[in-house]
Every structure is written in C-alpha cells, then in structure tokens.
Structure 1
Amino acid sequence: MRIAFLGPVGTYGEQAALRLCELEAIAAPQLLPQVGIRAVVKALAEGRCDAAVVPVENSVEGGVTACMDALWAHPELRVGRALVLPIRHALLGSGPLEGVSEVLSHPQALAQCSQWLGDNLPSALQLPTSSTADAARMVAGSRFRAAVASLQAAEEHGLEVLAYPINDVVGNSTRFLLLRQGERSLNGPMASLAFSLHANQPGALLEALTCFAHRQLNMTRIESRPSKREMGEYIFFVDLELPSGQEPLLQALDQLRPLCEHLAVFGAYPITQLDQA
C-alpha cells in the first residue's frame, strides 16, 4: 500500500504513518514523502497513493490550518483512523550550541519551542521550513545553523543533539489522521465534519450547534477558517464524540443539512492515544 506523508524521512509524520500502519495491520507499506501538507492530501485525491497521513491538531498550537483547508477542498476523502502522537523536539546541529545564529524548522515546531528558544538562543534568527526533517537536512554540516526536529531526524541526517527536549509544554502532542478514498463509515467513537452556513446572521451558528446539543453529542473541537471568498464568511470544523453509536449523528446531520450551504462529513473512526515518552 502506498501512503503519502509530510516528508522527507525523519518527520513526525513518518513516525505517525508507521504507527498507523501497525494499527491498521498494513504490511510492508510504501511510504511516499511529499513537500507540504496540501501536497500530501492532493496525492491521495489524485489517486497517486492509497492513503495519506496528515497532522490536523496540536495540543499547544491548535489546528493545522493547511490540513483543514486541504480537507475542505477535497470533501470526497474520509478519515479512517486517528493517532495522537507525543511530540518531543530536539535542537540538532553540527556545531556548538553557543555558535548557533539561525534556527530552522516547521512554523508549528518553532512555535512549540518559542519560550526555550527565547531563553537559550534569544539572538538567533528563526527560519520556517516545510517540515522538521527538511530543516534537519538543510542544517547538516553547518556550524551556525540548527534545526528543531526529532531524535530520529538526527540519526537520518547525521546531526548532533545539542539539547533535548526543548518543547515548552511537557504534554505536547499532535493528532494525525489517516485519510483514504471510498465510502465513509459513521460507526466509531469520534466523527469529523465541516460546514458553511447559508447566511451570516445572529444566531445562525448557535442554531447549527443546537443540532448536536439536543442529541447529547459532545464537541471535542470546533474551529473556524475563512472561506477565502469574502471577509466575515467562515467554514466551521467540528469533532464529535459518539458514545451511543451512529443514530444520534444521523439525526443531527438531517437537521443540520438544510442550514448549510456546504456540508462535508469525513466520517467516524477509531482514535488511539500513544503514551507519553
């Protein structure tokens, strides 16, 4: 099975892809690294792979906007499983810590280590990259550059571990989704959907959310993203717990659908929480 992930090798996305393959009993997967989260989703949408693994939410920095935008653009995709992966960042380099003047990483990783970087490398320039492992690749051999990435990335790119762990919050974790094509299931402990409303008027969102509240469906996440069509127009992403099976969800969707301009249901799925390292 061909599985796309945010590359290159050594990313947390690769770690998540391998663990999700274990959970799904996928033997000998062919992992296909992509440049950028949108490229990961696009590879699946265009049929160049059989599944895709993307980060959707971090416990410190919140939703991954590139993932939400990509999902909204491809409502035909479904979520097969979710994995919550503990994140332990390291500062990697080839020179001494005191010589570091530039720190490279994915913007989310830099944000998750902002306090540590401010305290220990206050003068270092922070430069964004497409992934943590790409940052590790770019700093290899440099005496003044360092990367925020995983211990695995240090091994992959021959870097020294200058400091570990450096994430500001001990419980830092990221939720990854395994995406697939095909018919979606509504059976599972968690469901994800997104919708836009017909009109921006008082009480419109409240009316939509009442569809869930009346059926005792707990929202574990709600986030908004601009529609990119006009100012003040938003898309809402919602995750729901389904303790009583799919029937309450089906009823809520029947009530919600007439209120929406567009409704994308990404399905229900199992979710696995890995223990903190």
Structure 2
Amino acid sequence: METLKALHWKLFAEGKSGIMVVLQALDAAGKDEAISFVFSNLNAQGLRTTSFGKPSETEKKHDYLWRLHDGLPARGEISLLNRSYYEEVIVKQVHNDIEDYEYPPGTKIEDVWQMRYRQLNDHEKYLVENNIHVIKFFFHVSESEQKDRLLKRMKNEDRQWEFSFNDVEEREYWDDYQKVFNDVLNNTSSSYAPWYVLPADNEWLSRAVITKVMNEKLKEINPDFPTISKDKEKELKDYIDKLEKE
C-alpha cells in the first residue's frame, strides 16, 4: 500500500499521465469497500471518484458516453468509475432497454451490442493514445455470497441505508447477467485496456489483486518528481539563504 501511495504522489507531481479505473459488478460485490480500502489513503488532490446511476433526462439527450467526461482523469490523477459506461451494454442488454433512436436506422438489435463493444474499444484506445491509461476490474461474486451479503445489509439497521429493493429484484436476472458479463469481458478486454476478473467472494484477495495491478501499472508509467531547472537553481539557493537568515 505504501508503494502505491508513493507512486501516486509521483504521478500527481509529474502531471503527465492519468489512470482511469473502471469498477464493474453486481450489487454487494465489494466495489465500495475496495475503494475505501485500496484508494482512501492516496493523495486526495490526485484522486477522483464518480458513481454512475440511471441517466438523467439531460444525459439521455446526449450520446451514452457524454456523461463519462466529468469522470475522466486529468493528467496526474487516478479516476475511479464506480460502475461506468459499461452499464450501457450490461443493464440495457439484460433488460433490452434501448430506444431505436440510440442506434442507426435499419440496425438489427442483435448487432447493436457488437457495435457498442467496438465503440468502447475505440474510445479506450483513444484515451490510451492520449496517455490516459485504462484499467478495468470486474468483481465476480457468487450467487450465494451475494445473497449472504444482501441479507446482512437488510438485517443490520446500521447498514439498511445501503440496501435497495432493486438489488433483490435484479437477482431474478442472475443467469442473464452472467451471460452478458461473459460476452462483455470477451469483447472488450484488450492489450491496452484489459479486464481483471476479481474473486469477489474473497475480499482480501480482491483488494490484494487491485493493489498489485495498480502498482504494476504505475511502475510501467514510471513517474518521477519534477526537478528544478538549471536556471532556477541559483534563484532557489538565494531564497533558501534569505529564509535561513530571517
């Protein structure tokens, strides 16, 4: 964890690269806990977290990636997308919840998802080519483990605020979600924006994998603290001398 913290400071100070982290899962898979455990000790100035719920009426009037932009990292930042634009090919595909004006006229509905996979791959490649790195974590939780975690939330008064009746209702589509997850992972994991599938039943192991992957990416980027230019060295020395003589 200390290594991650130190590398993040260098990333922030250097200000040349950004990292976008996608966290995708069903309810109660451990995304929020992973964010708190892995990322909470990082430099807050260089960390951005965005949660995506149902699109607003304004967002519906734009292309489906439009609302992503506020969640993109600036150079020097790590941005966390707690759920993401992948909802547009997961939830919408499970529930067949897409309007005909959201894709070109004459397109068969079965071809829409392949089209969107291509668009997402192209978008992520664009980000990487602009030195915004993309890392995607999928929390694979078992049906039985999700059930146990949801029941704990429902029975614990201090955690009932976390629970939504929709969480249980969506379990009726469990098999559909598994099929779509498999399709999405196979079609959108790339060399430049890979998916990492986490064993979400084991929270400790999931967090360890996230930390390892983040450290490896930051070491690959190899950020460093900026150094003062030669022409400023004398000026710096003069100011040091001035302060020390006060």
Q: How does the TM-score come out when normalised to structure 1?
A: 0.23
Bigger strand share: 1
Q: How does the TM-score come out when normalised to structure 2?
A: 0.25
